[in-house]
Structure 1
Amino acid sequence: MRLAMKLDWRIVAPLLIVIAGILWGVIGFFSTALSSAGLEPVQITVVRCTIAACFLGIVLAIFKPHAFKIHLRHIWVFLGTGVLSIAFYNVCYFACIELCGLSFAAILLYTAPCFVVLLSAFFFKEKLTAHRFGSLVLAFLGCLLVVGVGSGNFGLSGFGILLGLASGIGYAFYSLFARVALKHYEPLTVMFYTFVCAALALIPFSHPAAIVDLALNSSTSLVIMLALSLVSTVLPFVCYTTGLAHMETGKASIMAFIEPMVSLLIGVLVFGEVLTLLNVFGVVMILCAVILLNLPEKKFFSGAQAKFRKVRIFAEIKH
């Protein structure tokens, strides 16, 4: 029975991670629809965070009311996850989608793991090792190809590209602050206060009356708002967190790369965005950088050394 359960999680955990990636990947579909309905990036972010916070609050109130309790000394952590990360990266990401398209915005967002390495080296004094540095260089070169540098057809908005990279930095901040928060609180508590802080920070700048007016006068927009917040926010967070509890973090983050791939496909197939061969090479380079970043360093170097020894032995025999 135990073996069956173990084998079951080997199947279910990766499946949950993939589902989370797909649900996150379709967020651009909902945000583009709301943008077409007249909402600004700040307003779309407020919609996403407010509804998600309300839903999570209801869940906590029913099933885990004790999880509402937090210490005042940890408020700064939730301001970090909510304001510096979720609020900042969402606004930048949705604005980048408007300026550069969904495909490019999604790929630039996924430079986040590389920014995590740089920020971790600065804040947590983690070593910037050779294979991590190599990952950063590979990701940087991939970004250049994605945005079209060197192709002779640099048609993307420069400000849009900066917003895309800024969204990656904001996304990376979540890993840093959540790393501290999760030492003291369970995931649902962290998510709830993260979305609360993000919503409260942006509501004063979002003209909320316009959001409410759109929701009341357009049932289609209301459904899209709910889908954005529940289908592409709450549900994938739950799936990813559950799957992560039963598999390695590195493997999970690699599998979650399906998110920008789904966004890229939606951009190309639904919105008619065009990718060149250089753009595709750039995507592959960023993917390789993320995979390299998640390889155990000892395993990576031992494998490389083993291959080098085989080549050297072959050369000695040949001569």
Structure 2
Amino acid sequence: MSAAPTGAALERKGTLQLSLAMVLSGTIGVFVVESGAAPFNVVFFRCVFGAVALGLYCLARGFFRDHGFTRHKVLLTCLGGVFIVFNWVLLFESYRSTSISVATVVYHTQPFYVVLLGALFFRDKLTVSKFAWLAVAFGGLVLVAGVSPADLVGGGSYLLGLGEALLAALFYALSTIFTKRVTGVRPHLVALMQVLVGIPLLLPFTRLAETAGLGAGWAWLVGLGVIHTCVMYALMYSSYQKLPTSKIAVLAFIYPAVAMFCDWAVYGHRVSLLQALGIPLIAAATLGINLGWRFGPSRPAAPVPAATPLAPVVTPVATPVLTPVAPVAVQAAGPVPALPSRSTT
């Protein structure tokens, strides 16, 4: 009989799972471009193949039993699905107008939208440190964008691509806001319902006639559905149960790093030196927001005044009275909680 894995062993396993998931996420841009399909077609078939793969996975794992969905949770999940599928469309459009590298780094500003939306709609507290990290992220975004006078002419396709990446990040943040409120349901089932929502939602925008000549492009589309929508999500959701938030935030940066490497290795695209200076600013600001880092030096703690010795007080000894103690409520282990905020496509 084998011993149960220790906490350290579970964390190592979770680190490996999330690292692999982020590596897979970084290759999405190559799969999208190599498929040769229009962005709406890509997302439609990602939803189709992803729904089949996720459905079979959930069926094999028995996730459909005691699913935990209610009418309210279904509504929230569907709203999140609307934003997540259009977020994919906008991001994939941005690849065409900018590059995989630039679009991915700009898209990685999602956590800041989550903070701002939380403050706007749910009155989450915005501290001075959060404002400062947002300012740092904006400075990094300006550098990464690398807009030149030449980008302002010729139709402005590059500026349009930057806007699409920013809007994609906003849509992802809106999806996160809704999805985080779907509690008591396995995130695999949430993801399955969201891609199912995407099928009828995107069908009117999908040009099926264009898929006749895809040829080998179908393999890339199947890969997006099976690898990047089933395998990748299964790895992520499993790792989240084993890792602290701090490690999840750090490992999330594997995704843009791999995306930039793939963009350079496959297509020869590289960011300029000025753009590269903005990447660590966005990275530092993202970690600062996710981990609650205080911006600037910490204030020294106020000195504690020395205690004044008190004269002993003599009190009569009373007979002790036994008061019954209320039992501590123990929460039973339930379904996996909803997916925490993450930076991935």
Map of 1:305 onto structure 2: 299
CA distance in 2, matches of 1:285, 1:268: 21
Cα 1:114/1:301, change in 2 over 3 Å? closer
Cα 1:253/1:301, change in 2 over 3 Å? closer
TM-score (norm 2): 0.79
Does the CA-based 8 Å contact 2:95-2:103 persist in structure 1?
yes
Counterpart secondary structure, 1:273:
coil
Question: Residue 73 of structure 1 aligns to which amino acid in structure 2?
Answer: H
1:288 has 2:284 as partner: yes
Question: Residue 282 of structure 1 aligns to which amino acid in structure 2?
Answer: G
CA distance in 1, matches of 2:31, 2:219: 10
CA distance in 2, matches of 1:48, 1:18: 22
Tell me how far 1:250 sits from its aligned partner: 3.8
CA distance in 1, matches of 2:165, 2:99: 10
Write out aligned runs for 1:113-124 (5 A).
113-124=111-122
Does the CA-based 8 Å contact 2:142-2:278 persist in structure 1?
yes
Map of 1:144 onto structure 2: 142
CA distance in 1, matches of 2:240, 2:103: 25
CA distance in 2, matches of 1:103, 1:78: 30
Tell me how far 1:301 sits from its aligned partner: 6.7
Bigger drift between 151-160 and 3-12 goes to 151-160
CA distance in 2, matches of 1:115, 1:122: 10
CA distance in 2, matches of 1:129, 1:24: 32
Cα 1:207/1:189, change in 2 over 3 Å? same
Question: Residue 57 of structure 1 aligns to which amino acid in structure 2?
Answer: G
Identity, in percent, stands at 25
TM-score (norm 1): 0.85
Map of 1:240 onto structure 2: 236
Between structure 1 and structure 2, the one with the greater Rg is: 2
Map of 1:316 onto structure 2: none
1:58 has 2:56 as partner: yes
Unaligned runs of 5+ in 1: 310-319
Deviations 1:235-269 (A, max 9, x none): 11111111111112343133111101111111122
Counterpart secondary structure, 1:10:
helix
Point out the structure with the larger helix share: 1
Question: Residue 14 of structure 1 aligns to which amino acid in structure 2?
Answer: T
Question: Residue 194 of structure 1 aligns to which amino acid in structure 2?
Answer: Q
Deviations 1:158-208 (A, max 9, x none): 111100101111121232111111x13111111110111122211121023
Map of 2:325 onto structure 1: none
CA distance in 1, matches of 2:255, 2:41: 23
1:71 has 2:70 as partner: yes
Deviations 1:287-312 (A, max 9, x none): 01111112235xx37962359x9xxx
Cα 1:244/1:68, change in 2 over 3 Å? closer
Deviations 1:66-100 (A, max 9, x none): 2567333333212222112x111101000000000
Bigger drift between 281-290 and 244-253 goes to 244-253
Tell me how far 1:153 sits from its aligned partner: 6.4
CA distance in 2, matches of 1:132, 1:296: 8
CA distance in 2, matches of 1:98, 1:301: 36
Cα 1:302/1:111, change in 2 over 3 Å? closer
The alignment of Structure 1 onto Structure 2 pairs a total of residues equal to 296
CA distance in 2, matches of 1:226, 1:40: 15
Unaligned runs of 5+ in 2: 304-345
CA distance in 2, matches of 1:30, 1:301: 39
Map of 1:106 onto structure 2: 104
CA distance in 2, matches of 1:164, 1:99: 10
Tell me how far 1:41 sits from its aligned partner: 0.7
Following TM superposition, the consecutive aligned residue runs of length 4 or more in structure 1 with deviations greater than 4 angstroms are: 1-4, 151-156
Deviations 1:261-291 (A, max 9, x none): 1111111222111311110011111001111
Write out aligned runs for 1:127-276 (5 A).
127-149=125-147, 154=151, 157-181=158-182, 183-211=183-211, 213-214=212-213, 218=215, 220-276=216-272
